[in-house]
Amino acid sequence: MVTASAPGKVYLFGEHAVVYGEPAVPCAIERRAQVTASHRDSGLRVHAGDLTIDGFTVEYEGSASERPDVDIEDSLVEAGISYVNEAIEQARDAADAPDAGFDVTVDSEIPLGAGLGSSAAVTVAAIDAATRELGVELSPEEIADRAYRVEHSVQDGQASRADTFCSAMGGAVRVEGDDCRTIEAPDLPFVIGYDGGAGDTGALVAGVCDLREEYEFAADTVEAIGDVVRRGEAALAAERVDELGQLMNFNHGLLSALGVSSRSLDAMVWAARDAGATGAKLTGAGGGGCIVALDDTPETTSALNYTPGCEDTFRAELDTVGVRLEE
């Protein structure tokens, strides 16, 4: 039996546009998904005990066609099962053990589908735990690459390397196409607001893709996000936190124009700004879930606690440790 964990993340800049080759800067945060893999003769049994929703258990022989009977959206359960299923396939491939069976247990502190990189963290930790259980140790870079292939397949070919690279490596990273690297970042005062909901990443990414094809100005909006990210990288390197906040606000406006914000995400973003946050934006695919704000005072947290639609708020520290073996 082997247990591995990997961190979730927030996007300082660049989600969605990164799918079209623009740069993005996600940062790993100290909220982790933990996956335990135990070898068994055949098949796959997945138990997900704590996903900030009712847990579920599902047993199946290599296909994601069986549905657990739980009171959450089918698309989320389906996606969750598909990520674990494909991660186990990657582990079997890496260890040259195509028929290996597993019991897999997922315990996550990262809400599902909320923009904090739960699927990437579960995928990365599952690949690490299952390959180690088969006696093979992969580098974080190789785990990131295999986890990307999982997201690419589950998200119908529309995924970037950003979430999975960030979760595998930890810290702040910069991703532009296949060029993935870790970068220096100061400790930023992240405050997260969570509306208790979730977005369907595949559907949201497909929506942006359709807009880009239909309207040239939507394609320009994606490019403008790339420009914001490039300015943001310079502000990050120079530790100009005020400018970072301003650029996060700009990034949120452009994401909103692409249709991936929501009433509750906008309400939380505005509550944070009104409370004096340096900047605030949605994080991840959008549609519902989380916003990230920068504020080193308690004001944003207090304001979010009183914002209708905000279910939870917490501070998040940058996590410099990526995927790791748990004792």
* Binding region for ligand MEV (CB under 6 A): 15-16, 18-19, 159-160, 162-163, 201, 205, 284-285
- E strands, the chain, are 2-13, 25-40, 44-50, 56-60, 101-108, 172-176, 179-183, 190-194, 279-282, 290-294, 312-316, 324-326
Q: How far apart are CA 268 and CA 31, in angstroms?
A: 21
In this complex, which beta carbon is closest to ligand MEV, that of residue 132 or of residue 212?
212
Three-class SS state of 175 = strand
Shortest reach from residue 229's CB to ligand MEV, in Å: 12
Catalytic-labelled residue, pool 107, 145, 163, 319: 163
Q: Is 180 helix (H, G, I), strand (E, B) or coil?
A: strand
Instruction: Compute CA 312 distance to the chain's CA centroid, rounded to the nearest angstrom.
Output: 18
Q: Which is nearer to ligand MEV, 114 or 129 (CB)?
A: 114
Residue 199's DSSP bridge partners are none
Closest to ligand MEV by CB, 162 vs 180, is: 162
Q: In the annotation, is 107 catalytic?
A: no
DSSP class of residue 6 equals E
> Smaller CB distance to ligand MEV: residue 140 or 287?
287
Alpha-carbon gap, residue 192 to 304, rounded angstroms? 9
CB of 306 to ligand MEV, least distance (A): 28
Sign of the torsion angle spanned by Cα atoms 157, 159, 161, 164: negative
DSSP states along 34-63 = EEEEEEESSSEEEEEEESSS--EEEEESS-
Least distance from C-beta 125 to ligand MEV, angstroms?
16
Residue 96 CB, nearest approach to ligand MEV (Å)? 28
d(CA 162, CA 164): 6
Q: To the nearest whole angstrom, how small is the minimum distance from the Cβ of residue 187 to ligand MEV? A: 23
For ligand MEV, give the closer residue by CB, 15 or 128.
15
Distances (CA, A) of 45 to 97, 102, 156: 17, 6, 24
DSSP 236-263: HHTT-HHHHHHHHHHHHHHHHHTT---H
Cβ nearer to ligand MEV, comparing 205 with 268: 205
CA distances for 149 relative to 6, 143, 307, 319, angstroms: 17, 10, 38, 24
Strand segments (E) across 88-171: 101-108
CB of 31 to ligand MEV, least distance (A): 14
Active site residues: 163
